[in-house]
Chains A and B, each alone.
Chain A
Amino acid sequence: RYVRQLQRLQLLFSPTSADARGARQFVEEAALDFARRHPDVVLYVRPRAGLAPVLVAEYLNGTVREELIASKTSEEIVQLATKLAGQSGLDIIRIRKPFHTDNPSIQGQWHPLTNKPSALTVQGPRLQPQ
C-alpha cells in the first residue's frame, strides 16, 4: 500500500518580518486545508523571531530538508508543501542511468555455452537416433 514518506512539516517563521508575509498568510488561510487534505503529515507551526522563514520537512528514512520560504506567496508555499509531501526522502542527486528493468533478459542471458551442443545427445529436432 502507499505510505506517504513525509512525516512532518515544521513551519518556522517570524511574526513581524516582511519576508515572512507569505508564511503568515499561509498559516491564516491555507494551512488548515493542507492539514485536512494530508492527515498523515503532522504540521507544526512555530513563530520564532529573528531568523528567515523556513519549511523543514522530515521523511521516514530520516532525511531532513529545509526550504526557505522568504518572500514567497501563500499559493507558492502551498505548492511547495504539496511537492514535499509527494517526495520520498531519498537524496536528490543525479540519476546515473535513466532506465531500470527488473527483467533484464527474457529468454536467458547469453553465456559462452548458450548455442553450443552438449556432450550428450539431447532430444532435439536435429539429432536423429541411429
Chain B
Amino acid sequence: MAAGLLLRVSGRLLAGAAAGAGLRLRLSTAPSRDKKRWLRAYLEQQRLEAPPQRRSEKPNWDYHAEIQAFSHRLHENFSLDLLKTAFVNSCYIESEEAKRRELGVDQETVALNLQDNSKLAEQGTSFSRSYLRQCFEGAYPDLPAEGIGALVDFLTSQELVSYVAQNLSIQDLTLCREFPVPPEVLQRTFFAVIGALLNSSGPEKTGIFVRDFFIPQLIGKDLFEIWEVVNPMGLLVEELTKRNMSSPEPRITRQLGVSTVLPLYFVGLYCDKKIIAEGPGETLLAAEEEAARVALRKLYGYTENRRPWDYSKPKQGLAAEKALSSN
C-alpha cells in the first residue's frame, strides 16, 4: 500500500513537472493495487453470516483447564473423571465412531474409551426431583400432591434447565453432535453433572447445589402460572370440606362501570359470614374464579407476601430419603 501511495505521489509530481515544463497533462486514473473499499464491509458481513461455531473449535481452548475452572466456579469439588463422563453424550460417541469408521481407522487400535452420561443423568434427575419434592413438602405442607408435582415438573422442565445450563457455560463443555446444543441435551447434561456431583461429594452437598440453582427460579412466579387448575372453585370446595369449613358463598363486594365496556367486579367468598378471599374480574364469573384462586393461594400458603425461601440452614434428614430414592 505504501508503494501504491509513492507511485501516486510520484505520478502527480511527474504530471506537475511535465505540465510546468511542457503542456502535456498525464492524469493517471488507473486503479491502484491496494485493498478495495468494499473489502472490509464484505469481510464483516461474512463474519456475521457465518454459522455459529462451537467454542471448542475456536482458538484458545483447553478442555481440562475449562473443566477445572467449571468446578471452581460452582464452588464444588468434582472428581474430574466423573465430570468429564457427565459431559459426554451418546450422539457424540456415535458420531465419533462413524467418523473413525469412515476414515478407515482400526477399531481396536484407537478405541474410544468414553462412557455415556445416561446413568449419571438418571441419577441426577431422580435425586433432584425427590429433593425438590421434599423441600416443597416441608415448606408448603398444605399444598396437595398435584401442586407439588406441578412445581417440581416446572423446575425440571426443559426450558428452565436448559436456560440455567446455558448460563453456566455447559453449552461450551458438552460433547454433542449438533451445535447449537438442543435443549433436551442440555437438560440431560445438567442432570448428569448433578449425578456426578452426587457421586463425588455426597447427597448433602448436592442437595445444597440443587437448592441454590433451582429454587431461585421460582422468584416472582405465581402458583397458578405454574400449576394449571381448570376448576378452582371445585378444588376450593374440596379443600374446605377437608378442613371442615362450610362451602363458600360468593357475594359482590364492589362493582365499577357495570354498564360500560370494561366493568370491574370484586367478588368476595364468605365462609360462615366471614370473608376468606376477594378477587377482581371483568365479568362476575371471572371474578368468582379469581376469588377462588386467591382463596386457594391463601389456604396453601403460597401468597405473594409469604416468607421468602430460607437458604440458611441445610436441610437435615435428607440422607435417609436419598437412600430410599436411589434404591
Contacts and interface: CB of A to CB of B under 8 A. Distances in A.
Nearest to A3: B73
Interface of A: 1-4, 7-8, 10, 39-42, 44, 46, 60-61, 112-113, 116, 118-120, 122
Contact of A60 (B72, B169, B266): B169
Nearest to B251: A120
Interface stretch (B24-32, B63-71, B148-156, B222-230): B63-71
B310 interface: no
Given A41-B69, A42-B62, A44-B62, A1 B75 contact: yes
A40 B73 contact: yes
Nearest to B64: A42
Interface residues of B, number: 27
Interface of B: 59-60, 62, 65-66, 68-70, 72-75, 167-169, 172, 212, 251-256, 264, 266, 268, 275
18 contacts: A1-B212, A4-B73, A7-B172, A39-B69, A39-B72, A40-B69, A40-B70, A42-B66, A46-B60, A60-B167, A60-B168, A60-B169, A119-B251, A119-B253, A119-B255, A120-B251, A122-B253, A122-B275
Contacts of A39: 68-69, 72
Contacts, number: 55
Q: Give the interface SS of chain B, mostly helix, strand, loop or mixed.
A: mixed
A116 B256 CA distance: 11
Nearest to A108: B305
Interface-centre pick from B60, B168, B268, B275 (highest chain A CB count, 10 A): B60
Contact of A118 (B167, B172, B254): B254
B65 A42 contact: yes
Nearest to A103: B305
Contact of B266 (A3, A8, A113): A113
Contact of B72 (A40, A44, A119): A40
Contacts of B254: 113, 116, 118-119
